[in-house]
Amino acid sequence: MRITTVQTSLSWENSQENRQQLQVKLAQAEASDLVVLPEMFTTGFSMRAEDLFEEEQGETLAWMKAQAKGLDAVLIGSFIVREDGKYFNRLYWVEPNGQFDFYDKRHLFRMAEEDKTYSAGANRLIKEWKGWKICPVVCYDLRFPVWLRNTAKQEGLAYDLLICVANWPAARRDAWNTLLKARAIENLSYVVGVNRIGEDGQGIAYAGDSQVIGPKGELIYEGKSREELITTEINMEQLTEFRAKFPAYLDADQFRLE
């Protein structure tokens, strides 16, 4: 599986400019199976949902469909959506043929009053693509291991690849780096984290630190504090072999999510 991570700065609350800039960047991407954009890639991490929202199938989703088709790859990233009078920080999974699915951010960052602006999602999303089971989540979700637990099923573990799209501030970069690695180790899974860089309209700085981590916690790729469009390859054979040799999930505690 070839994964392209798009670590980029974002124009504050300017959807059209961000789509235009990202389209130029994506045109330079290597051949890939999956392309990952940051959280709220059209606006930055804004609480002005009532001014910046899009309807369920608005302009940005149409743009994502066009980009996915042109790239011949799945494209994922989140932006602000209104549905039934509620606002969501919604991640879209868009396939080259135009089919799509979505995941609404489950854990809302109360320290920025995200919980007072957006509604929380209720369901985890796991998609299959080219032989991989993939679980995409959004930013603050990374701090909650129960929600992200890779549960064992009859046919194996629930997912092979966890992807977190984020606007994670530089002030908490140590937590970001530590949690990404922890989620990989405890879930015997590859983990991809894609974060933005630059400074937003509220003066919050972002360091990037986008990365790809293997199931042993090994760092396969780590972004610097600059714009980077990097394609990394991960290997299912190596993952399967490691899980067979070190099946720690068979000793995991049972629990029920409420």
Catalytic machinery residues: 39, 105, 139
As given in the structure block, the two tokens for residue 181 are 């690695």
Please name the helix (run of DSSP H) or strand (run of DSSP E) that holds residue 211, with its range, or none.
Answer: strand 211-213
Q: Does residue 114 contact residue 120 with C-beta atoms inside 8 Å?
A: no
- CA 100 to CA 143: how far, in whole Å? 26
Q: Which amino acid is at 61?
A: L
Residue 20 DSSP label: H
Q: Are 9 and 227 in contact (CB under 8 A)?
A: yes
Question: Which H or E run contains 35?
Answer: strand 34-36
* Contact call for residues 93 and 102 (beta carbons, < 8 A): yes
DSSP 73: S
Q: Which of 169, 164, 173 is nearest to 191 (CA)?
A: 164
